[in-house]
Amino acid sequence: MQDDTFGFRSIGVIHSPHKDVSRTPIQPVFCNDIKGRVVLEDEYADGLRGLEGFSHIYLFYYFHESRKVCLQLKPYLSDQEQGIFASRAPHRPNKLGMSLVRLMSIEGNVLHIKDIDVIDGTPLFDIKPYIQRFDSRENARSGWQDTIPDDIAGSRGVREYKE
């Protein structure tokens, strides 16, 4: 395996009411109306032009509180171990996370968002707009998650794994 290293630099910080990793909801769908803010470094504010017309955005960030790497683990809602790449758990080789949140407004270099499932103080790597015609897929499959009944999946939303 070749040892390629890529450097990323934070472009801002995600702020939320979530202060404790073990009590942070695991997906934005479990955070309906929970407010947060993204504060971009001033030098990137011009990159927000045109974003105000989008209802949802993807946030790409660093799982800075994750201290380990697991190639297999028991993710949320699974009774069986799964590979890390079949989950959205933070114990990834590159600690890259993503969340789809609602964009409420933009004031200068501050994005006001809702449905945030990210711990306060998380370093932000990138923002991309959600584009329905490109991002929504018919007949999509969700692997082992498809076996979980909707009433079970929607009833719990706090992390069940430990750092």
DSSP, residue by residue, the chain: -----------EEEE-S---GGGSBSSGGG-TT-EEEEEE-GGGGGGGTTGGG-SEEEEEEE-TT-----SEE--TT-SS-EEGGGS--S--SS-EEEEEEEEEEEETTEEEEES--S-TTEEEEEEEE--HHHH--TT---GGGGGS-HHHHTT--B--S--
Can you tell me the mean pLDDT for 66-86? 85
pLDDT above 80 for 122: yes
pLDDT above 80 for 163: no
CATH topology for 12-66+95-134 is Elongation Factor Tu (Ef-tu); domain 3 (2.40.30)
pLDDT band of 2, cuts 50, 70, 90: low
Q: How does pLDDT run across 5-57, given as a tens digit for each residue?
A: 888 899 999 999 888 776 666 665 656 778 999 999 999 999 999 999 999 99
